[in-house]
Chains A and B, each alone.
Chain A
């Protein structure tokens, strides 16, 4: 019964979404205020209805209602409760419902908290947002109904894909969707601004928080996915340039560009048309991402729902969105006049370079991801584009980004002087080069990856400290004054320092783990010991057992360093009998300076030797630590005073303000 009510609520939500897509837009065009005001309650209503539908589906999953098809296909009575809940979106239909839920949530958020928004802009933005929600709700209702019943209902379900039974992957999709959909809000504001023909600082101030939020969520979502691959897929890789990974990476790159260009719109009233274009691109790439994952045109490790009808439907949404918004852009953008003047060497210039490089990097990922498809379409040739291509084609642009980042950060608005900036940064450059030199010397002239990578990371991180120094007037200001200024720095500045520094940490981790990883693959028998980069690994034994919904073989290892026990490690091989799928659970001893990573392989058919894979991964955790710091930077920036200033001003209004 609840399931049917859920289905009914979703159908109603579709009707509400259509209403919300049309009425406020017409009202805004005609200047009818009451039609425009209808947008906010409709948005809240739509959210409540979809929220109910989603809750009904979660209820079906938690209570294990196997008469619901997707519950029977993706759950099982043995599954722990957490994965019953996450099973709701661990399948195609449920994950699309989650997407629509977040679309409606953001619409409702704008409706509820956007009181200071101009009525016309708000009506139009909510209307566009509702068009997207209506399209995806129709997609669910017509091609991917999560509320399908099975008759007769099976006694037990088919189990959730064991790879998805993991806390990291349980929360990975919601974060990505928060990111994708956050960009849909930005897109809605961009299209609304195009219709209105007005982009100003107030618009940018509304759009930047949404961009920041979307970027933070994508950062967390991508980092979670990468971390999951690191510990779950079994050989310690953390990025595979897989189409599905690229699908989330492209919007992240463009969102990164967008949140920088929105600063120029807000502070300098320039780059308007470009910022609008980026907003359109960022959401279009999110749609491309959803298309890649959902249609399965690019087969990949994680695609778990392939169906041509669905692919065509999403392609249609994608086509209408891109063609519609770009047409509108071509028509209205030329009217947008940028005011702010600037010299090429200036903060604006630096931000344009940032935008160019990030956009080009996204273009490289885009061509690489779609090239196999395009080649096959054009001349039928089958080619593969994998990690070695991306490493070669993508990295140079990131190197340029890194080189330019501290310089651009220190340039003043309007007109800058590189000489003066270098006068501040020279010691950071010298220290970074020295570090690179020392590393190169120590490893006796092998690959350049480690020295160059570490020097670049040091340049980024030291550059942040130089910038902090510059902002608080060091070295000229007295320590007291400097400290006072440090405390009073706007949170947006702290956000920038954290995000840029976090990027440096990630670069350092990537360079170190790529260049210095030690690998050992061997046959070992229980009782044996061997050395791995200064650590002594002792293989104690192997035991069998049973988990909640799987069987396992567990290796027991003790790791020593200089005769002392460093870690006891227990890698597992698991078998999930319902789906008959084996998985490996690596044992990882995490540390700030290195991870020890152990994988138990197969037992030899004769004798009692096992294949054991051991890795020493220097600074591996810095990759995700950096991502976390970047995300925190985004959140800190999100709490900046200027985004709260509207509320503060309202509260302050009754009190008389003393004349200055």
Chain B
């Protein structure tokens, strides 16, 4: 009887609440709650290896990422692709294990191990169930210290890289990207982002082993551990597996990228009969620790950072020139760039490029609406919060902050600084960092159909380039 009364009381109040719900418009919501990365502990081994631990006990998992200074910028242009091959080959054989045995061992700790070459560093990543963290660190230590680069695996890698290169070169967007970085970072190691047939031929066992010996060293390297692991357990396991690692001096930072030409230049790679023109265009941007970075981040959001942005709404939804368009900020250790990318129908190429440059100019000339700014801010804040949902996301953020040498509180103040951005501050940042008249513009498409039409976008003649941007 008593329970029945309670139940009906509950229904009555529910019905009352329901009557007052206004379905005609979206409910008003409050600001997003602050997001903080869990606290971290840091220490250094005697050999110079820096260790960062973020204890995160939300899931019984642990991940480890070792960042070694160097990466693709550490190898000369004629060795393009060698850094990627080196990274891939780390888990293809060691002094005591074949590639299958490495894969089996990773399966037995409930995870995986892999590596890749970023522009400024090698990243070796492993993950495991947390009760098997020791086995994971043991294998991680083995692959970075004692890779054997078996001859058969190296030649297989060469063969696969050639096939991948051929397949990639069939994609206009790939070619446009290669040419864009070649020009935007001209004269700098960052300019090379893809191998060539010749550079792949130079990926020989002894040369890979020599590059590994030169670059893989504890000094300057950082091991980031995230997950269900406490300080004392982590400290003894890292000591056990990494303290006897020895090496020379770390690879030094690359120099800043030289200032690019101050006049807009259009580069064209001819792809006869292509039904689309792939555009990459951009200019240097602010580093993430710049005082105006968040203003520029929101400016990019308003311009082309989400589905609701100006470029998507206008170029895709209203004009229908393309299915895909977007702009983003990219960061290397000593260079940042604002980059817009879109494949458009060949007939619409000139109109689309004109419209994109027009949007850039408008970002400089007048402040966006308060609504646009609010929308870009909540989109960015929401995406940031969702990224920290997983250990992988937390590890990625911590690693990025360390590798890019951002302030330690960069992510803890992220949402607050984002929320402080105003329409006026967006316009001011756009006026400095969106420079349509000075952009590097790359087009990949049918030159017969587009070369003349693109000529009006540059005072100099359109520059024809080859498959590697040269």
Say if A and B assemble together: no
